[in-house]
A and B are shown apart, each in its own frame.
Chain A
Amino acid sequence: GESVGLHLPTLSVQEGDNSIINCAYSNSASDYFIWYKQESGKGPQFIIDIRSNMDKRQGQRVTVLLNKTVKHLSLQIAATQPGDSAVYFCAENALNTGGFKTIFGAGTRLFVKA
């Protein structure tokens, strides 16, 4: 598959450990945030979303935390597995723009060591 980012920040974790991927967003008017996972050779895949009226949302093995004060978003993956190895993108949106002006971050590569 293609390389989606030659100089991406990389997080390397041991299988079974928890992973935390961080993201700083840029627009103070953004009120909707999404995390995507992109495996090699594939398109991004929706993981979890959160609105600005929440500061935490949990999914299956994933938790997203939102700190609007410092415009920071994080994705926590519990009990990281080899299949979690991928590039992770945060994306921000302003709902009053209809959700079309999605701004994607540059991504973080997660590498899981067996």
Chain B
Amino acid sequence: NAGVTQTPKFQVLKTGQSMTLQCAQDMNHEYMSWYRQDPGMGLRLIHYSVGAGITDQGEVPNGYNVSRSTTEDFPLRLLSAAPSQTSVYFCASRKRGTNYGYTFGSGTRLTVV
């Protein structure tokens, strides 16, 4: 049982490049989310999904796309990277139910130059 797996752990992009951050979970969790973490700002929700084929925007969705074709995978796409997207990105998942605590991946540190 690996939990939530994120790849890559580190990435440097040039402004305007695109890339996909991968997230996979093996806990059969229905709900998955992407957060970004910036110094002094806690975690902010980018996009979330309540199940395969269903996604919705969080509080900072601009510049990011997501899809959920399977229960296990929830990739985050940066279409045209900008320096403002330099951050640490966390994927999280949880089971449908009354406990709203998430299981987080170990993060991807992204630098856009």
Contacts and interface: CB of A to CB of B under 8 A. Distances in A.
Contacts, number: 69
- Interface residue SS majority, chain B: strand
A43 B4 contact: yes
B92 interface: yes
A77 to B, nearest CB: 18
B56 interface: yes
B90 A43 contact: yes
Contacts of A46: 101-103
B88 to A, nearest CB: 6
B101 A2 contact: no
Contact of A102 (B39, B45, B56, B103): B45
Contacts of A4: 37, 39, 88
- Between B4, B37, B42, the greatest number of chain A beta carbons within 10 A of the residue's beta carbon is seen for B42
B33 to A, nearest CB: 7
Interface of A: 2-8, 32, 34, 36, 41-46, 49, 89, 93, 95, 98-107
Interface of B: 4, 31, 33, 35, 37, 39-45, 48, 50, 56, 58-59, 88, 90, 92, 99-107, 109
